[in-house]
Amino acid sequence: MPRRQEWELTLSISVFEAARPVFTGLIVAAMVVVGAFVGHWAHGAWLNDHTPVQPIEFSHEVHAGENEIPCQYCHAWADRSASAGVPSVETCVGCHKGLAEVRDRPEIEKLFGYWERGEGIPWVKVHDTPDFVHFRHKPHIRAGVECQTCHGPVEAMARVTRRVDINEDLRMPWCIDCHTEEQVANGRDCLTCHY
């Protein structure tokens, strides 16, 4: 027994104490790495612009929610094309020129500004897939997938956000899970989306 104690004592004095600055350095380095992960996660969770500010503070809550305008009234190509499309300024003005009660609101003034200058509105993209993914709206809409499945409850959003917990930011496993569950033809084939 005394012998073992002696051994421990020798170790603690000669090895641990000598290596002490190294251990501290390693722990600090590990803290930096852990901190970096935490920081990156925190950025994604709170600081990332999931909810971009648009050139006009257009509210889907008012249009799709309160007034119950169907999605495809404005995003008219969703069942016909790869892209759902954004409405032309003409579409917006088509309704709004008959809505005198909101005509003098600042955001509506902005809309008529674009209309009178003959310009398009540079909306900021909220949902986007990388260039190597070819997402097409048409087959999804025709298969009866609700817009909200991917886009979340847009009708309840004053400003559209892609921070919707269910779709994990439109990542591939989420697509594949749905394709598998619904037994989509060629739904697990790489070339269905990556071509």
Partner 1 sequence: MVSRRDIFKYAAGGGVGVGVGLLLGEVNQRPLETLLSTHIPPEDFSPGIDTWYNTLCRMCPAGCGISVKVREGRAKKIEGNASHPVSRGGACALGQASLNALYNPDRLRSPMRADGEGGFIPASWDEAFDELSARLGALQAAGMGRRVWVLTGGALGSGEEALSRFSEALGANLLRLALDTTANEQAAAKAIYGFEGLPHYDIASADLVVSFGADFLGSWRSPIAYAKAYGEFRQGANGRRGHLAQIEPRMSLTGANADEWLPARPGTEGALALALAAEMLRRGRGGEDVANWGGLSGAMSLAGAAEQADIPLARVEALAERLAAAETPLVLGGGAAGAGTRGAAALSAVAALNRVLGAPGGTVRPNLGHAASYASVPDIEAFASQAASGNVSLVLLAGVDPAHDLPDSLGIRRALERAELVVSLDSFINDSASQADWVLATDSFLETWGDDISSPGAGSLTVTLQQPVQERLFDTLSITDIVLRLAARLGGAVAQALPHADAQAFTRAEWARVWQSLGLNGDFNERFRLAQQNGVWDAPLAEGMADTISPEVPPPPAAPGSEFAGGESEYPFVLHPFVTQGFREGQGANLPWIQELPDPLTSVVYGSWAEVNPATAEQLGLGMGDLVEIESPAGKLSVPVVVHPGVRPDVIAMPLGHGHRGNGRYAKGRGANAASLLAAQSDSATGALAWAATRVALKALGKRGRLTRTGGLSRTLGRQILGPGGEH
Three-state secondary structure readout of 158-178: CCCCCCCHHHCCCCHHHHHHH
- The number of CA neighbours under 13 Å toward the Cβ of 66 is 7
Does 39 engage in binding with partner 1 (CB under 8 A)? yes
Does 27 engage in binding with partner 1 (CB under 8 A)? yes
Among 61, 72, 79, 80, binds partner 1 (CB under 8 A): 80
| Cα separation, 184 vs 195, whole angstroms | 18
Among 59, 61, 85, 153, binds partner 1 (CB under 8 A): 85
Among 3, 37, 101, 144, binds partner 1 (CB under 8 A): 37
Among 13, 15, 19, 34, binds partner 1 (CB under 8 A): 34
Q: Is the dihedral of CA 137, 68, 150, 43 positive or negative?
A: positive
CB of 33 to partner 1, least distance (A): 6
Among 58, 60, 63, 121, binds partner 1 (CB under 8 A): 121
* Token pair 């350095």 in the structure block, residue: 25
How many positions of this chain bind partner 1 (CB under 8 A)?
46
| Cα separation, 161 vs 171, whole angstroms | 16
Does 70 engage in binding with partner 1 (CB under 8 A)? no
Question: Residues 64, 121: contact at Cβ < 8 Å?
Answer: no
Binding site for partner 1 (CB under 8 A): 24, 27-44, 47-49, 52, 77, 80-83, 85-90, 114-115, 118-125, 128, 136
